[in-house]
């Protein structure tokens, strides 16, 4: 589950996947709004199974947290969501979105993961109506479809999406491990090259690239269903 080699090294300067893709100030502003912790989707209430992993001792410090999140982004549930996001971004019509919604729901490996994606997606679809009238869809499908229909470049949208995913899990760890806020920020900084690489890869993906190999995280999500006491819904 964990990537090999040290994670904490100064990121080398690499071209951002959003360079040269026509990202407008309006696009950036909308991504900052939709994927802000203040946008009313309730992301703060979900740990994606991380609370269980912390309770089990699988994540105990800053380095373990970064490795856990990196694995999810590289070949886990966050990568699966990135592929679904890209497919929704390119979906030609509502019928294609309906098929993606069914697929996203079927791919949820645990009851709480299903609730997490459906509840946040429904809340996002309701909150984004000042920009776009969208039916209730699983979270990555809803955000991907919104970005695509409003002509926001896929790589830029995926970069923002994956950053929001990582930042939310770091926030969970800051509260539960606990980690200091300075360590939390350092974790996000360490994940920058992971996020950028996944966003660039996801922007070129198709449904043939779907696949997840983060079994420890999936098991943690299943076990969290009976965890007591707990702070998070998932």
**C-alpha triplet 168, 118, 176: angle, nearest 5°:** 30
Residue 8 has what pLDDT? 39
CA distance 157 to 143: 9
Give 10-residue mean pLDDT values along the chain (234 residues). Answer: 41 44 86 96 94 94 96 96 98 96 95 95 97 96 98 96 98 94 96 97 96 90 92 91
Structure confidence at residue 23 (pLDDT): 80
pLDDT for 4: 38
Contacts of 173 by beta carbon, 8 Å cutoff, 6+ apart: 50, 54, 59, 65, 179, 184, 187
Global pTM reads 0.90
Q: How many CA atoms lie within 13 A of 78 on its CB side?
A: 29
Query: Which sequence spans correspond to the domains of the chain?
Result: 25-35+44-226
Which pLDDT score is estimated for 21? Answer: 55
Q: Kindly indicate whether the domain formed by 25-35+44-226 is annotated with CATH number 3.40.50.620.
A: no
Contact 218, 108 (CB under 8 A): no
pLDDT at 93: 94
Of 19, 187, 34, residue with least CA distance to 120: 34
Q: Write the pLDDT tens digit of every residue in 154-191.
A: 999 999 999 999 999 999 999 999 999 999 999 999 99
């Amino acid at each position: 589950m964990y990537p090999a080699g040290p994670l904490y090294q100064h990121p080398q300067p690499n071209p951002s996947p959003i360079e040269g893709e026509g990202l407008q100030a309006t696009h950036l502003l909308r991504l900052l709004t939709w994927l802000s912790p203040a946008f009313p989707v309730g992301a703060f209430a979900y740990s994606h199974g991380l609370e269980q992993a912390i309770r089990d001792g699988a994540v105990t410090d800053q380095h373990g947290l970064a490795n856990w999140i990196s694995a999810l982004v590289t070949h886990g549930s966050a990568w699966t969501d990135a592929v679904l996001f890209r497919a929704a971004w390119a979906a030609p019509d509502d019928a294609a979105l309906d098929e993606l919604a069914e697929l996203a729901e079927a791919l949820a490996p645990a009851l709480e993961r299903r609730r997490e994606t459906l509840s946040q997606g429904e809340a996002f679809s309701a909150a984004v109506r000042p920009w776009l009238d969208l039916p209730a869809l699983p979270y990555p499908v809803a955000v991907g479809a919104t970005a695509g229909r409003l002509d926001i470049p896929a790589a830029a949208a995926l970069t923002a999406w994956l950053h929001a995913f990582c930042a939310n899990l770091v926030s969970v760890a800051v509260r539960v491990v606990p980690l200091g806020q300075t360590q939390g920020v350092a974790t996000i900084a360490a994940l920058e090259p992971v996020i950028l690489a996944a966003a660039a890869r996801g922007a070129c993906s198709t449904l043939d690239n779907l696949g997840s190999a983060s079994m420890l995280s999936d098991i943690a999500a299943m076990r969290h269903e009976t965890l007591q006491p707990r702070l998070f819904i998932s």
